[in-house]
Amino acid sequence: MSNATVRFDKWLWAARFFKTRALAKQAIEGGKVHYNNARSKPSRTVELEAVLIIRQGWDEKTVVVKALSDQRRGAEVASQLYEETPDSIAKRTMNAEQRKLQRAAIAAPENRPNKKQRRQIVRFKNINDPE
Cα 100 to Cα 77: distance, rounded to the nearest angstrom: 31
**Domain spans of the chain, in order of start:** 1-88
The sheet carrying 82-84 orders its strands as 33-35, 51-56, 59-65, 82-84
End-to-end CA distance of the chain: 71
| Beta-strand relationship, 59-65 and 51-56 | antiparallel
- Nearest CA among 49, 68, 66, 62 for reference residue 8: 68
pTM: 0.77
The CATH classification number of 1-88 equals 3.10.290.10
Per-residue pLDDT of the chain (131 residues; tens, 9 = 90+): 555 799 999 999 999 999 999 999 999 999 999 999 999 999 999 999 999 999 999 999 999 999 999 999 999 999 999 999 999 999 999 999 999 988 877 777 788 899 999 999 999 998 877 66
